[in-house]
Amino acid sequence: MIGNIKSPKPRKIFRLQLEIDKRKYSFLPSKKYCSNKYSLVPLRERDVESIRKWRNEQIDILRQNKPLTKDEQSKYYHQVIKKSFYEKKPKIILFSFLIKNACIGYGGFVHIDWNSKKAELSFILDTNRTKEPRIYKKEFSIFLKIILNIGFKQILFNKIFTETFDIRPPTIRILEECGFDCEGRLKSHVKIKNKYKDSLIHGLVKEEFIKKGDSINIPITSISKKNTTNKINKKIFRGNLIKKEDFIE
């Protein structure tokens, strides 16, 4: 014990390391993607209960017609998410969105069409953080820039698209500021609190992503299976120079 802080038990550290090592999508070269203090890692089991609560609290913005139970969430993780880590072409690719090592949201790719190389983008942030517009804009923008780099440069998608209910003007503005174009409006497409609302479809293709350059295309650090120490060398990450200040433990 140092002061009032107890040293963690070795067995607990081992279990944690084992979880980290296993959570890597087989088709991705890295298990962690970082930008300064923010990072994306394959969805962690320890985060699913927080995610369940956030989804239930924000059910009006999701394609979810009833609150999720703990049992449903646990089964989904073990039967769907874990399986996706080892599939060459999974139907979903989801990440925990972390600030340092604390989960503040999650998201990734769903409804993946591997033949057309396109996927729908999914994202949800901690409910309390969504209530602060400045924080929501900053963190959603950071998430987008990291996930777009993964999607276009690592997975090699040709197109990434979103569907947003027309009750979320801030989210729509952020998507457009980060390069997405509005491709269509589905009139009276969803019913929210007994009122019909439109749904907006936004899309971004790889060619446009490359053209937009530095406004979207940010340096991110990748941490592979072999790179598990605190040492990191400068190297080229799919055309982006990795900087030491972008690396976090």
Instruction: Output the pTM of the full model.
Output: 0.79
Query: Which secondary structure element, helix H or strand E, spans residue 120, and what is its range?
Result: strand 118-125
- Mean pLDDT value across residues 231-243: 35
**What was the pLDDT predicted at 234?**
37
Place of tokens 């993964």: 150
Average pLDDT, the chain: 82
**What was the pLDDT predicted at 64?**
86
Strand pairing of 181-192 and 221-223? unpaired
Cβ-contact 105, 97 below 8 angstroms? yes
**What was the pLDDT predicted at 194?**
87
Give the model's confidence band at 23: pLDDT under 50 very low, under 70 low, under 90 confident, else very high: low
Fold held by 23-246: Aminopeptidase (3.40.630)
User: What percent of the chain is predicted at pLDDT more than 70?
Assistant: 76
**What was the pLDDT predicted at 48?**
96
- Mean pLDDT value across residues 234-248: 34
Task: Please state, in angstroms and rounded to a whole number, the distance separating the CA atoms of residues 187 and 35.
Answer: 38
- Mean pLDDT value across residues 121-139: 96
Tens of pLDDT, residue by residue over 30-54, are 899 998 899 999 999 999 999 999 9
- Mean pLDDT value across residues 112-131: 97
Q: Is the pLDDT of residue 10 over 50?
A: no
Cα→Cα distances 71→66, 67, 77, 95, 105, Å:
14, 12, 10, 20, 20
Task: Report DSSP state, residue 248.
Answer: -
Q: Is the pLDDT of residue 144 over 90?
A: yes
- Mean pLDDT value across residues 115-123: 97
**What was the pLDDT predicted at 212?**
79
Pairwise pLDDT comparison (10 vs 119), residue with the higher score: 119
Give the model's confidence band at 11: pLDDT under 50 very low, under 70 low, under 90 confident, else very high: very low
**What was the pLDDT predicted at 209?**
94
CA angle 201, 204, 208 (to 5 degrees): 150
Tens of pLDDT, residue by residue over 169-228, are 999 999 999 999 999 999 998 898 889 999 999 999 999 999 876 555 555 566 655 544
**What was the pLDDT predicted at 214?**
52
User: What percent of the chain is predicted at pLDDT more than 90?
Assistant: 64
Following DSSP, what letter does each residue of 44-111 receive, concatenated?
A: PGGGHHHHHHHHHHTGGGTT-SSPPPHHHHHHHIIIIIHHHTT-SS-S-EEEEEEETTEEEEEEEEEE
Q: Is the pLDDT of residue 138 over 70?
A: yes
